[in-house]
Amino acid sequence: MSAGDLYSLDVDEPTALTPMLSDGFEDWSKQVASTGFCSRPVRLFGQARTFDRRSGQHLSTFDSRNLPDSVLYVRCGNRRASRCPSCSHEYQGDMWHLLSAGVSGGDKGVPESVSTHPLVFLTLTAPSFGTVHSSTRPGAQPRPCTVNAAPGLCEHGRPRRCTEHHDADDSRVGQALCPDCYDYEGQAIWQWHCPELWRRFTIRLRRLVAAHLGMSEKASRDLLRVQFAKVGEYQKRGAIHLHALVRLDGAPSDDDPYPSPAVDVPASWLAERCLEAARDIEIDAAPVDAYDSARVLRFGRQVDARPVQRHSEDDGDVSPEMVSAYLAKYATKAAGDVAVDGTPNRHLKQLRETCLELCGRALLHEGFSSPYALLGKWADALGFRGHFASKSRRFSTTLGTLRDARRKYHRDREQLETHEDPSSADEPLDVAEHIVVLNEFRFVGQGWLTPGDAELARSAADAAREWKDARRTARQPHEKGKNHGQALLHR
């Protein structure tokens, strides 16, 4: 989508007409396009000076004062769709490429042979902290909300079960049937320790793999290695659960960083080890203060591990494109995204307040060592302090590599546009290794300067995403698998 396409956007005239009629609109629209139509770009003021590394010659100076708003706009890069749909859309695409390379190979420096390695799609959930309203799964037979709960009233005089049928968009889904019975403290503490549960899970899995092969963990590393990519997702009740791709490789070398396992084991065998490791691990969580008691934390009973099959007719198996798209989609979600738009979520509000309360209790008791003194910092994340997307070192490529490749592509394209006849240029186009850029910028704010600018950027972002989606679906039939995975991102 070009900057000139901004002229044809359907935007609200009272808010957008003034900037569109200004003399500098064409230059401003190019800046908007350069940020990827970001919703809340970072505003920088200053200059960048370019030098030739070999001769020390000063080549050029870029000054933000020469731009329409006298500031340089840089995209915010926020992964959350609720904060910036444009940057989130790009992050989602990068995650899909990263995950797809790890399960299918043949791209991004990962050989196609990794598609033959044992691969498992794993889901680890949180335990129950109380009864909440639930919805019927899409396509499933409608059922009562909490049909398996005990009948009667709780000690606070509220029903223990709900017999209604809830749709997925019902605002009651995820809300506690009795807030007084719900263990908000237990959930906040579990969220706080969830990253440690995952770390212990990976350690236990490697040890179980070695034990079932009849050798020590050190010896097993010469035959195979456990690689993974993990994404965290919030359930409607505000509890985090983890989706992961777990793969077995051989011992890597400089010549072959993604070798096949030296031991021939099926993906179903790896799935059994994952389930066993999830059941084994536990953490003794420290008490909040001197009046609290310790807790034993585990993953929930709803643990699922399914083999990922490249070609399978079994409905119980999942395809590489499906899991790549599924994980990439949820990598952009935040705690607030589990609530229905425009509906106050009392359950999530109580969880945030509980995190702040536990932090206050940990700080008030002097002389008592509590690990929850920083819990309030993560209140907006409902106590979860881990990475929402992470991977082992050799699962596939990195986000940094993908972004560097994108920057190089745009830089090379700009150089080509600068030279009408590139073959006649005295210097080769790719001279980045001989260039030094000294940046002297300072932060002056975030977001567009006027509501009209923000509305134009939002409309342009919507149009750009629609254009990309339409272009993706029109690709050649031989890319059908990748199209299917990418299409799942937007469901």
Structural domain contains residue 151: no
pLDDT digits (tens, 9 = 90+) for 220-268: 999 999 999 999 989 889 999 999 999 999 999 888 899 999 889 999 9
Structural domain contains residue 423: no
Report the C-alpha gap between 127 and 130 in whole angstroms. Answer: 9
Judge if 89 and 73 occupy the same domain: no
* Segment among 159-168, 245-254, 273-282, 364-373 with least mean pLDDT: 364-373
- Pick the closest to residue 327 from 44, 95, 12, 138 (CA basis): 95
pLDDT for res 7: 41
* Segment among 20-29, 161-170, 249-258, 389-398 with least mean pLDDT: 20-29
Judge if 70 and 90 occupy the same domain: no
State how far the alpha carbon of 436 is from the alpha carbons of 54, 56, 96, 203, 403, in Å: 10, 9, 33, 44, 20
pLDDT for res 207: 96
Judge if 213 and 316 occupy the same domain: yes
Structural domain contains residue 97: yes
* Segment among 43-47, 61-65, 86-90, 466-470 with least mean pLDDT: 466-470
Judge if 64 and 99 occupy the same domain: no
**pLDDT higher than threshold 50 for residue 31:** yes
Task: DSSP letter for 159, please.
Answer: B
Structural domain contains residue 460: yes
Judge if 443 and 371 occupy the same domain: no
Q: Of the residues 391, 406, 425, which one is the last residue of a structural domain?
A: 391
The pTM (predicted TM-score) of the whole model is: 0.80
> Which amino acid would we find at residue 38?
C
Judge if 380 and 460 occupy the same domain: no
Confidence bin at 464 (pLDDT 50/70/90): confident
What tokens does 118 get?
Answer: 């044992």
In terms of residue numbers, what domain contains 73?
3-77+437-488
Confidence bin at 4 (pLDDT 50/70/90): very low
- If you average pLDDT over every residue of the chain, what do you get? 82
Q: Is the dihedral of CA 125, 128, 130, 134 positive or negative?
A: positive
Structural domain contains residue 312: yes
Judge if 305 and 341 occupy the same domain: yes
What tokens does 167 get?
Answer: 């749709």
**pLDDT higher than threshold 80 for residue 406:** yes
How many domains are there within the chain? 2
Structural domain contains residue 49: yes
Report the C-alpha gap between 19 and 9 in whole angstroms. Answer: 13
Helix axes 13-21, 451-473, angle to 10 degrees: 90
Judge if 271 and 122 occupy the same domain: yes
Judge if 69 and 201 occupy the same domain: no
Is the separation of the CB atoms in 242 and 230 below 8 Å? yes
312 compared with 222, residue with greater pLDDT: 222
Query: What count of Cα atoms within 13 Å lies in the side-chain half-sphere of residue 216?
Result: 2
Q: Of the residues 391, 413, 428, which one is the last residue of a structural domain?
A: 391
Alpha-carbon dihedral 205, 207, 212, 218, rounded to 10 degrees: 130
Judge if 102 and 67 occupy the same domain: no
Instruction: Count, in order, helices (H) and strands (E) of the chain.
Output: 11, 11
Strand partners, 443: 44
pLDDT for res 425: 44
pLDDT digits (tens, 9 = 90+) for 160-196: 888 888 887 788 888 899 999 999 999 999 999 999 9
The fraction of the chain above a pLDDT of 70, given in percent, is 82
Structural domain contains residue 231: yes
Confidence bin at 454 (pLDDT 50/70/90): confident
| Mean pLDDT, residues 414-422 | 59
Helix axes 480-488, 85-104, angle to 10 degrees: 140
19 compared with 172, residue with greater pLDDT: 172
Judge if 21 and 49 occupy the same domain: yes
* Segment among 26-35, 138-147, 265-274 with least mean pLDDT: 138-147
Report the C-alpha gap between 236 and 175 in whole angstroms. Answer: 8
Is the separation of the CB atoms in 481 and 472 below 8 Å? no
For the chain, how big is the Rg over CA atoms in Å? 26
* Segment among 108-122, 173-187, 202-216, 474-488 with least mean pLDDT: 474-488
Q: Is 116 helix (H, G, I), strand (E, B) or coil?
A: helix
Q: Of the residues 391, 420, 446, which one is the last residue of a structural domain?
A: 391
State the maximum Cα–Cα separation within the chain, in Å, rounded to a whole number.
85
Question: CA 227, 321, 387: angle at the middle one, nearest 5?
Answer: 45
pLDDT for res 5: 47
Query: What count of Cα atoms within 13 Å lies in the side-chain half-sphere of residue 172?
Result: 16
Structural domain contains residue 219: yes
Judge if 227 and 373 occupy the same domain: yes
